[in-house]
Amino acid sequence: MKEAIRLEGVTMRYRVPHERLNSLKEYTIRRLKRTITYGDFVALSGVNLSVAAGERVGVIGRNGAGKSTLFRVVSRVLIPSEGRVVVSGRVAPILELGLGFHGELTGRENVMIQGALLGFSRRQTRARLERIVEWAELQDFIDAPIRTFSTGMAARLAFAVATDVDPDILLVDEALAVGDEKFRRKCQDRMAEITARGRTFLLVSHSLEQIRNNCDRAVWLHHGAIVRDGDSETVAQAYHEWSLGETDQVAPAPGR
Amino acid sequence: MSDATERSGVGEDVRLGFPSSAPAVYDSARRAPRWIEEAVQLWRYRGLVQELVIRDIKVRYKRSVLGILWTMLAPLLNMIALTLVFSSILKTAVQNYPVYFMTGSIFWAFFSQTTTSAAQQTTASNELAKRMFLPRSVFIASAVGGGLVNLILSLVPLILILLITGYPFHPTWAFLPVSILVITLFTAGISLLLFTVTSRFADVREMYTVLVQTWFFLTPIVYEPSIVPFRYRVLLSLNPMYHLIQVFRKPIYDGVLPSPTLLAGSFALSVAVLITGWVYFSHRSDKMAYWS
């Protein structure tokens, strides 16, 4: 099976000052007085992961376990401090719906920008506009400023643009949990459509329900390391039990 | 043009509509030198630059009554006020002060607005580039693009003033694109440096606002260089803006081309600043995701 994502000993380390210093004045003064202290924050430590093309993988873990960092490393927002990341194919993120929307601009104008953020040319986005609007069921509102949209409407539009891309690898960060029941079902259907076409699918979610429904495999991150990796049912169950406090200890940690 | 480039890349990725030359494999262990990689990515995302420039123009004018007229009106009002002060009160010897001042102020507005906007782009760029892959240089490019649009627009009131005051249109106007190119290279270089520093230290933005204000008065925009006392002339010649302003002003106001020395010097300086800015920026751009 072709490999879509491979992480080899990926460590993500931040050197952070103990206090946040984003003022040059303060930085200079403290630097001269030598009172800046740093600490290392390790968001990912030695993560090894291989995802085959067409796999549907869920990522679970507590807040701060490194889930978002893992996504950022895969989508090349962050360059790993150590190790290697290899990603084959186009990555499309569905992270926060409506990121990059501008309230003063119309729905149509915002779609053009979203398209450009995903790497489309004007012509390409315009060719898709009709279909996007239709899917989002916003034909009557598309020329009104986004600020007049409800949250649900904006989310619908953002989701429609992002999933119209048909990428090789889709990164989804809990974006599915918005909107009304009908819209959620529609999103689910579209996700299923995408994975049915053999696209790789990575989902971060706190909802084990979502992981079970959408993924075949799940990866459990704890303090920046993978502690469980297996079929989604088993891993979700183990995580669930652990988070209820039924088991004290995190299951044997491979790769530590 | 875009049709041709897109069709030529039809090979694999029409389906995705991704920039067709995008590499299918990303390998963090095998990256091109940063300054090359950033340039390649910027080119790939040129559509986004265009979109951001259009967005900024639309947003700026959408809710303003005077709309696009304002861009043209502002330099006119400034000019009228300064002409009153300089011709009536300070009795300047400058011939046709309105044209003299406006050539300088248009140039300065382009430089200061573009660099300031680049420094402000750090917030918007962090919000997006922290979450999805984007070359951050698109935000600087869009600041420069927006500045250029304004520069072109503000030529309209300048032409108006030339017509009203009966000032001749010298054939050297044809040289203006070259002048604009030179000052754009310089402005882009400063924007890159400023963006990089501001990404790390947000307070640099305010410091720069003050600096730019002072710099304005140290540059012969509202006054002519000949009133500067002789002992300060050396200092004046150390100010890059003193030379750049002449590259822009001479073809319009004096009706002569900038001297080869002036042109070559300004061009070399601008290219040097741009390269420095580009290398510094791309070298630090990996880090920007941590700073934000």
- Chain B nearest C-alpha distance from A122 (Å): 7
Going by C-alpha positions, the residue among A83, A74, A66, A2 that lies closest to residue A219 is A66
Residue A120 lies in a domain: no
At residue A136, what is the residue type?
A
Give the list of residues 6+ apart from residue A40 with CB closer than 8 angstroms, or none: A13, A14, A15, A16
Instruction: Please report the ipTM that was assigned to this predicted complex.
Output: 0.84
Count contacts between A and B (CB, < 8 Å).
137
| Sign of torsion over alpha carbons B151, B153, B158, B163 | positive
Residue among B128, B131, B210, B283 with most chain A CBs within 10 A, to mutate: B131
Residue among B7, B28, B282, B292 with most chain A CBs within 10 A, to mutate: B28
A87 touches chain B (CB under 8 A): yes
Residue B181 lies in a domain: yes
Residue A130 lies in a domain: no
Chain A residues close to B63, C-beta within 8 Å: 104
- Cα gap A90→A254, rounded to integer Å: 29
pLDDT (0 to 100) of residue B226? 87
Going by C-alpha positions, the residue among A49, A83, A6, A9 that lies closest to residue A228 is A49
Low-confidence ranges of chain A (pLDDT < 50): 253-256
pLDDT (0 to 100) of residue A247? 56
- Chain B nearest C-alpha distance from A236 (Å): 26
Q: What is the pLDDT of residues A121-132, one digit of tens each?
A: 888 889 999 999
Chain B residues close to A120, C-beta within 8 Å: 17-18, 47
Statement: residue B244 has pLDDT above 90: yes
A88 touches chain B (CB under 8 A): yes
Statement: residue B20 has pLDDT above 60: no
Statement: residue B148 has pLDDT above 80: yes
| Sign of torsion over alpha carbons B8, B14, B18, B23 | negative
- Cα gap A107→A144, rounded to integer Å: 6
- Return the CATH number at A61: 3.40.50.300
pLDDT (0 to 100) of residue B1? 37
| Across B67-73, average pLDDT | 75
Q: Going edge to edge, which strands form the sheet with A3-17? A: A38-52, A3-17, A82-88, B25-27
Instruction: Using the structure block, give the residue that is written with the tokens 């909802």.
Output: A207
- Chain A nearest C-alpha distance from B45 (Å): 6
| Across B207-225, average pLDDT | 93
pLDDT (0 to 100) of residue B6? 37
Q: What backbone phi and psi angles, to 5 degrees, belong to A135?
A: -60, -40
A25 touches chain B (CB under 8 A): yes
Q: Closest chain B residue to A69 measured between Cα atoms?
A: B131
Pick B28's closest partner by Cβ from A25, A80, A123: A80
Residue B78 lies in a domain: yes
- Chain A nearest C-alpha distance from B128 (Å): 7
Residue contact B47–A120, C-beta within 8 A = yes
- Cα gap A210→B114, rounded to integer Å: 46
Q: Structure tokens of B60?
A: 């700026």
pLDDT (0 to 100) of residue B120? 92
Chain A residues close to B44, C-beta within 8 Å: 119
- Chain A nearest C-alpha distance from B51 (Å): 6
Residue contact A96–B58, C-beta within 8 A = no
Residue B213 lies in a domain: yes
Split into its structural domains, chain B has a count of 1
Residue contact A23–B289, C-beta within 8 A = no
pLDDT (0 to 100) of residue A175? 61
Residue A47 lies in a domain: yes
pLDDT (0 to 100) of residue B42? 93
Residue A148 lies in a domain: no
pLDDT (0 to 100) of residue B28? 86
Higher-confidence residue: B222 or B92? B222
Residue A102 lies in a domain: no
Residue contact B62–A124, C-beta within 8 A = no
Q: Structure tokens of A219?
A: 């990866």
Higher-confidence residue: B242 or B95? B242
Q: Closest chain B residue to A27 measured between Cα atoms?
A: B201
Residue A214 lies in a domain: yes
Query: How much is the mean pLDDT over chain B?
Result: 86
At residue A96, what is the residue type?
E
Q: Do A224 and A47 contact (CB within 8 A), yes or no?
A: yes
Going by C-alpha positions, the residue among B108, B117, B118 that lies closest to residue B75 is B108
A 177-206 residues inside an 8 A Cβ radius of B: none
Residue A183 lies in a domain: no
Q: Closest chain A residue to B44 measured between Cα atoms?
A: A119
Pick B133's closest partner by Cβ from A24, A76, A121: A76
- Chain A nearest C-alpha distance from B228 (Å): 34
pTM: 0.87
Pick B202's closest partner by Cβ from A22, A84, A123: A22
Q: Closest chain A residue to B200 measured between Cα atoms?
A: A22
Residue A165 lies in a domain: no
pLDDT (0 to 100) of residue A248? 53
Chain B residues close to A115, C-beta within 8 Å: 51
> Longest Cα pair distance anywhere in chain A, in angstroms?
62
pLDDT (0 to 100) of residue B271? 98
Split into its structural domains, chain A has a count of 1
Chain B residues close to A7, C-beta within 8 Å: none
A86 touches chain B (CB under 8 A): yes
Enclosing domain of residue A253:
1-90+207-256
Residue contact B16–A117, C-beta within 8 A = no
Q: How many other C-beta atoms can be found within 10 angstroms of the C-beta atom of residue A123?
A: 14
A175 touches chain B (CB under 8 A): no
| Across B61-79, average pLDDT | 76
pLDDT (0 to 100) of residue A50? 95
